[in-house]
Structure 1
Amino acid sequence: MKLQFLGATDTVTGSKYLIEHDKARVLVDCGLFQGYKLLRLRNWEAPPVKPSSIDAVILTHAHIDHSGYLPLLARQGFRGKVFCTPATYDLCRILLPDSGHLQEEEAEYANRHKLSKHKEALPLYTREDALRCLKLFHPIPYDKDWQPVPGLHARMTPSGHMAGSSFVRLDDGSRSILFSGDIGRPQDLMLKPPVQMDGADYLVVESTYGDRLHKNSDPLLELGKVINRTAARGGVVVIPAFAVGRAQSLLHCIHLLKAQGVIQDIPVYLNSPMAASAMQVYLKHKSELKLTPAECEAMAHTAHIVQSPEESRLLNARHGPMVIVAASGMATGGRVVHHLKAFAPDKRNTILFAGYQAGGTRGASIAGGAPTVRIFGEDVPIRAEVAMLDDLSAHADAGEIVSWLKGFKAPPRQTFITHGEPAAADAMRQRIERELRWNVHMPFYLETVTLR
């Protein structure tokens, strides 16, 4: 068995791991590279492995950095099956067509404003490409054994990162390998904790927060403070939020804050049709949540859903106090970018980040203290308060990852650290070596290893 790292090395995006077993090829995750332009350009390069030679894809979860390359893979010749959990399939039915639509919008905008260095800007893939690739999906329930290719057994187990997220374990009878995907948090407000795994001969583990610990604070209290001090200024809280997972968590928190009387009953807007659709998926798969049926209903009705682009534009002319939750989570695109352009220059307002900001993204620039950011060809001043709410992160921190690893019945023969910026991945490597004394390796892009 061979393992090749086609992404998520020295970065938190582009997760793709190729397993070669006998003459078969299985790709675990199929994500887009995001962030720095040097990484994003990889999405446009010829794939390092011929897509038609891949027999199956297994997704750990639906986020675009794990699933977003699938429409292009299928357009380039992949005809195998895509395996994932039912909730992941339901979310991909929302995320992938939306991703294609955004690609088309960005290309059209670049052409209209003559921003492309090429004769004509083209989308990486289209909404139609995404819809076609969805025909390849084959949902598999949690904790069921199946064979993606003959002789290779697979099993998906809840990882607690988002609805449908899973650990993926592959076993050929002689050796096994476990892919962590993104590991959730044991005390998440909405999701049940990651299932403790027994381990495997080989492990590929994420390291998004490998160099830090989440603050030991109450996210409800912190969120309430941000909303209250912004409301006291008559300001607007703009929250760039991942449409799947984070947006739902935020609305649950805002409902609790209002119910407890911590914040006043100010208007709350969810400006993301995709987040509204994802809410319905969460309600459909509520067995994966900690919430009661009543809490699920309250979460779904906490915000006014902004439907049309015109309604979205009108929000920019409103005054606070109010809260706007809008995608995307790293402010790389979507409706939140228009809100940032409108509200970031006013010191009464607040930009609140509630998740990881990958290097090279607009969100990372703002969170890092940039005085201006480029939006639609203009340098927009950042005079608004900038706040962070890491405790709502759906990623386990370094301590939580190590605690999960300590539950393994035996050390893996080799542990591979991926899905982290270089500093975070190396910190994770050192901590595992120091505390667990495991054999650890940080793979490089396109590296191939033999699993004996």
Structure 2
Amino acid sequence: MSIEFTFFGAAGTVTGSRFLLESGGRRILIDCGLFQGQKSIRERNWKPFPVEAGSIDAVVLTHAHIDHSGNLPRLVREGFRGKIHCTTSTRALCDILLADSGYLHERDAQRANQYGYSKHHPALPLYTAADAKASMELFETHPFEEPVTVAAGVTVRFRRAGHILGAASVEVRMGGKTLVFSGDIGRYGSPIMEDPIPFKAADVLVMESTYGDRLHDSTDPEAEIGAAISETVAKGGTVVIPSFAVGRAQSLMYVINRLKQRQAIADIPVFLDSPMAINASGIYCANSEDHRLSEQECHAAYGVATYTRSAAASQAIIDVEGPKIVISASGMATGGRILHHLSAYLPDARNTVLFAGFQAAGTRGAALVDGAPRVKIHGANVPVRAQVRNLTQLSAHADRDELLRWLGGFTSPPKQIYITHGEDRASQAFRSAIEEKFGWQAEVPQHFDKVVV
């Protein structure tokens, strides 16, 4: 039986993961993420779903990051009534990530109405925190490696992807065929996450390529972060780290704690200024079976930081005199509390802004990493005099060689390979790397492409 497979997201771009499988009258959606980055890409979030939400039988979620899960509340609001299948830790993280996303959409709409910078009157949120809460009622969790039936004639199996807590690659058996979705593949040898585990065979493989055209810097991230902190402290400055709340913030605290234990950096204050990152850290500690750290080690590492939950406590950080480290969301500096820290610290050459991962095209983070002399924050042009660095060593994404290593786990070549989750340059480069290393042919689909498998 044939399967119609449509690329409704993460094709020709990194974000907006959304793949629809149709066979035998069944519709299965793999991921339901938000588009992020350039305005032309973000505007896709507002377009109607390509198929009627109520016609989808089930959603299978690879992991909790917003570019994979962030459109679920809207899907549910528009009529989806099936189950959302994922791992236990993925559900726990979605519980905080989706609620926060809904709150941010509401706040952005409120600000647009207050300051009149939207062409819509009134501006409305994409979805609300209440929509996010309603979507959580449809989640159904499963352990890794256990086959589960998600619709008549459709089974799935989750396998550790090593990306963040609960992240999975997914095997789908449908219409007499086996399809594997890599999800986001993590790093090998991470101090926190377990190594990714490949599948052995597939008729169809949908493979990510976020870093498909490059290798991560081989410099020891602990040494480089330590050097950046020490250099900034010597100038009397502050280190500001825009961080993804899930995965990256926890890795940063782990490294900073190790540096302090070794007395490799000064014992300066560390602030974790992100309620979501604080909550995510608790979930990491409560689910130690899903990573390398024991619960005790987890609490010790994350105890290096002072947690600031309230807006007032966040604002008060700026009044703390002397060198300090501020870890705050979001990782690409697109919104959240990090913005008032950037406004305060970017104009001072004593300070350092330390990015720690991929910066999607069109984001404020990408502009800063590319050397922008000023950036717009809350309507004001902020001069950039602080030193700006980007460390890819802490990235939760596998680089080109690690992606190829994961592919090397297949004992036979997939019959069809589709390269997704990448800027076009990265996807095309990774397609060439696969052909060169394995002799396998692969395709790079574009948005809305449909294939029959």
Alignment of 1:382-421 (within 5 A): 382-421=384-423
| Matched residue SS, 2:353 | strand
Shift of residue 197, structure 1, vs aligned partner: 1.9
Q: Hey, what does 2:288 align to over in structure 1?
A: 286
Shift of residue 114, structure 1, vs aligned partner: 1.3
Q: Hey, what does 2:316 align to over in structure 1?
A: 314
Measured in 1, the distance between the counterparts of 2:191 and 2:241 equals 18
Equivalent position to 2:214, from 212, 220, 229: 212
Shift of residue 21, structure 1, vs aligned partner: 2.0
Measured in 1, the distance between the counterparts of 2:23 and 2:258 equals 49
Equivalent position to 1:148, from 150, 162, 170: 150
Measured in 2, the distance between the counterparts of 1:294 and 1:132 equals 34
User: Which stretch of structure 1 is more off in the superposition, 86-95 or 140-149?
Assistant: 140-149
User: Which stretch of structure 1 is more off in the superposition, 193-202 or 395-404?
Assistant: 193-202
Q: Hey, what does 1:324 align to over in structure 2?
A: 326
Write the deviation string for residues 393-445 of structure 1: whole angstroms up to 9, x where unpaired: 00000011001101101000011000000110110011001111112000111
Equivalent position to 2:192, from 190, 193, 200: 190
1:121 partnered with 2:142: no
User: Which stretch of structure 1 is more off in the superposition, 190-199 or 176-185?
Assistant: 190-199
Opposite residue 201 of structure 2, the aligned amino acid is: G
Question: Contact 1:21–1:152 at 8 Å: present in 2 too?
Answer: no
Write the deviation string for residues 84-139 of structure 1: whole angstroms up to 9, x where unpaired: 00000000000001000000111111111111122211110000000001101001
Unaligned runs of 5+ in 1: none
Measured in 2, the distance between the counterparts of 1:309 and 1:156 equals 38
| Matched residue SS, 2:409 | coil
Aligned residues between the structures: 451
Opposite residue 305 of structure 1, the aligned amino acid is: Y
User: Which stretch of structure 1 is more off in the superposition, 70-79 or 308-317?
Assistant: 308-317
| Matched residue SS, 2:137 | helix
Opposite residue 149 of structure 1, the aligned amino acid is: A
Question: Contact 1:72–1:129 at 8 Å: present in 2 too?
Answer: yes
1:355 partnered with 2:357: yes
Q: With the length of structure 1 as denominator, give the TM-score of the two structures.
A: 0.98
Question: Contact 2:161–2:169 at 8 Å: present in 1 too?
Answer: yes
| Matched residue SS, 2:14 | coil
Question: Contact 2:207–2:418 at 8 Å: present in 1 too?
Answer: yes
Measured in 2, the distance between the counterparts of 1:287 and 1:414 equals 34
Write the deviation string for residues 286-315 of structure 1: whole angstroms up to 9, x where unpaired: 112212343212122110001210111111
| Matched residue SS, 2:186 | coil
| Matched residue SS, 2:169 | strand
Shift of residue 199, structure 1, vs aligned partner: 2.5
Q: Hey, what does 2:176 align to over in structure 1?
A: 174
Measured in 1, the distance between the counterparts of 2:267 and 2:43 equals 45
Opposite residue 407 of structure 2, the aligned amino acid is: L
Q: Hey, what does 1:440 align to over in structure 2?
A: 442
Equivalent position to 1:158, from 160, 173, 177: 160
Measured in 2, the distance between the counterparts of 1:356 and 1:333 equals 16
Q: Hey, what does 2:251 align to over in structure 1?
A: 249
Q: Hey, what does 1:269 align to over in structure 2?
A: 271
Question: Contact 1:18–1:26 at 8 Å: present in 2 too?
Answer: yes
Question: Contact 1:235–1:319 at 8 Å: present in 2 too?
Answer: no
Shift of residue 320, structure 1, vs aligned partner: 3.1
Q: Hey, what does 1:4 align to over in structure 2?
A: 6
| Matched residue SS, 2:296 | helix
Q: Hey, what does 2:93 align to over in structure 1?
A: 91
| Matched residue SS, 2:325 | strand
Question: Contact 1:355–1:393 at 8 Å: present in 2 too?
Answer: yes
Q: With the length of structure 2 as denominator, give the TM-score of the two structures.
A: 0.98
Write the deviation string for residues 57-105 of structure 1: whole angstroms up to 9, x where unpaired: 0100000000000000011111110000000000000000100000011
User: Which stretch of structure 1 is more off in the superposition, 167-176 or 394-403?
Assistant: 167-176
Shift of residue 173, structure 1, vs aligned partner: 6.5
Measured in 2, the distance between the counterparts of 1:213 and 1:263 equals 28
Measured in 2, the distance between the counterparts of 1:21 and 1:188 equals 38
Measured in 1, the distance between the counterparts of 2:419 and 2:134 equals 33
| Matched residue SS, 1:392 | coil
Question: Contact 1:352–1:386 at 8 Å: present in 2 too?
Answer: yes
User: Which stretch of structure 1 is more off in the superposition, 233-242 or 168-177?
Assistant: 168-177
Measured in 2, the distance between the counterparts of 1:14 and 1:303 equals 32
Aligned-residue sequence identity (percent) comes to 49
Measured in 2, the distance between the counterparts of 1:109 and 1:383 equals 28
Unaligned runs of 5+ in 2: none
Measured in 2, the distance between the counterparts of 1:197 and 1:262 equals 41
Measured in 2, the distance between the counterparts of 1:410 and 1:173 equals 20
